[in-house]
């Protein structure tokens, strides 16, 4: 990928970022406030964003409260900002209020290979050794052998075991198929605490990667007791060439500077937006290239292979605890196969691509692709957060 000569900033407005039923939603944001010299927990209330840090110093604290939705809707707050001004502010400017990723102390986890269609693409990456030029040939071979063998198969079931036997006999078994239809899902740590970027920010793709794509996903927001308290959108940026060389390179493929985007807001579960609404989420993707190229895609949680609560149970339980809660990327159905450049080469990002991930119930997460090495460095960690909250007297 070559750097784009000019990268206009995405134009974000409340109308393009908010959920379609925002007037009925309990929406949590985080705002960088230069007067406070740090992040504020905030609520979206119509055209305004209200600072709630004096009530809940972190989003993690807020979501431990049983009355979190009532706090977001009704609690008296401090500073107030106009949402349109926050959206128009250049991200990363310490002298201007701007939106951040709407989570803080939660561990950032991700479940992989949770959809059958994307499962086969992971096998293709592995079989090509991360070489996009071989993708079309291997895709045809895998499709010929597998056919509909995985359609409707419940992971860990006797049917899944029979499908596994078929694939082993054909020499096509892989670690991706094991976590896709086996008894245990893949759950990994996507990024460090506080490293996610929010809507409007740049998103990083490692400079060494030549075959990669966005991964539009629903992200569950879970408290320390394992209760799903809300949902948001995420981009899990997939470096297909690097992970395709070896599944053991997952960390290099997934955890890079600015490679995890979450937002725009956390929508809390309430009477109008419950777990069944999360299970029915439709997620759209649009990539607009600096050269006029457009890619569209979609993903639907209706087609996920494992229920979202099963993914949560695989993450937190007697085997592992998260005292500050966690967020969980739920995987994606989207796996682009159309050619962007050379025939058979499939899709890959160009620097300057504008990536919009959206859902009617969650709003829109919008980011611009840059090399991870040139994205704004991550400098604000847990120590700085704690020092800032102590200075403000809210701890």
| Per-residue pLDDT, 163 | 74
pLDDT digits (tens, 9 = 90+) for 323-362: 999 999 999 988 787 889 878 778 999 999 999 999 999 9
| Per-residue pLDDT, 244 | 86
Q: Which of 116, 7, 146 is nearest to 334 (CA)?
A: 116
| Per-residue pLDDT, 91 | 81
| Per-residue pLDDT, 148 | 63
pLDDT digits (tens, 9 = 90+) for 116-125: 666 667 677 6
CA 359, 72, 262, 252 torsion: positive or negative? negative
For 343, the 3-state DSSP assignment is: coil
| Per-residue pLDDT, 253 | 94
* The model scores a pTM over 0.85: yes
| Per-residue pLDDT, 5 | 42
List, run by run, the mean pLDDT of 10-residue segments along the chain (395 residues).
54 95 98 95 97 98 98 96 95 91 98 77 70 72 64 78 76 77 91 97 96 95 98 95 90 96 98 97 96 93 94 97 98 85 85 97 98 96 96 91
Helix (H) or strand (E) holding 295: strand 294-300
| Per-residue pLDDT, 212 | 94
Q: Which of 10, 27, 6 is nearest to 286 (CA)?
A: 10
Tokens of 11: 């134009």
Tokens of 182: 């086996």
| Per-residue pLDDT, 44 | 98
**Contact by Cβ (8 Å): 74, 270:** no
Question: What distance in Å separates the CA atoms of residue 15 and residue 271, rounded to the nearest whole number?
Answer: 24
**Contact by Cβ (8 Å): 50, 77:** yes
């Amino acid at each position: 990928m070559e750097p784009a000569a000019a990268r206009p900033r995405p134009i974000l407005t409340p109308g393009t970022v908010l959920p379609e039923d925002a007037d009925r939603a309990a929406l949590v944001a985080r705002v960088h406030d230069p007067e406070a010299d740090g992040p504020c927990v905030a609520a979206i209330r119509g055209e305004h964003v209200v600072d709630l840090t004096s009530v809940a110093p972190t989003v993690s604290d807020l979501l431990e409260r049983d009355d979190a939705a009532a706090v977001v809707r009704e609690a008296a707050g401090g500073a107030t900002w106009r949402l349109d001004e926050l959206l128009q502010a250049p991200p990363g400017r310490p002298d201007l209020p701007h939106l951040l990723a709407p989570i803080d102390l939660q561990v950032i986890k991700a479940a992989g290979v949770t959809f059958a269609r994307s499962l086969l693409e992971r096998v293709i990456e592995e079989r090509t050794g991360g070489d996009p030029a071989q993708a079309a040939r291997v895709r045809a071979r895998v499709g010929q052998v597998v056919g509909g063998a995985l359609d409707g198969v419940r992971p860990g079931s006797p049917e899944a075991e029979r499908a596994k036997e078929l694939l082993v006999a054909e020499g096509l078994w892989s670690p991706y198929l094991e976590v896709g239809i086996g008894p245990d899902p893949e759950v990994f740590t996507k990024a460090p605490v506080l490293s996610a970027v929010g809507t409007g920010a740049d998103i990083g793709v490692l400079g060494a990667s030549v075959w990669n794509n966005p991964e539009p996903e629903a992200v569950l927001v879970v408290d320390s007791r394992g209760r799903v308290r809300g949902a948001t959108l995420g981009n899990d940026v997939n470096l297909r060439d690097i992970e395709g060389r070896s599944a053991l390179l997952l960390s290099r493929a997934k955890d890079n500077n600015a490679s995890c985007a979450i937002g725009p807001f956390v929508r809390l579960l309430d009477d109008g937006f419950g777990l069944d609404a999360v299970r029915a989420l439709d997620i759209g993707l649009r990539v607009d290239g600096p050269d006029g190229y457009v890619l569209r895609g979609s993903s639907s949680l209706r087609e996920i292979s494992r229920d979202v609560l099963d993914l949560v149970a695989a993450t937190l339980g007697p085997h592992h605890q998260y005292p500050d809660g966690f967020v969980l990327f739920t995987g994606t159905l989207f796996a682009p196969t159309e050619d962007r450049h050379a025939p058979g080469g499939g899709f890959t990002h160009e620097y300057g691509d504008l990536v919009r991930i959206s859902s009617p119930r969650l709003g829109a997460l919008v980011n611009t692709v840059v090399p991870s090495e040139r994205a704004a460095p991550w400098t604000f960690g847990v120590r700085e957060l704690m020092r800032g909250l102590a200075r403000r007297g809210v701890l």
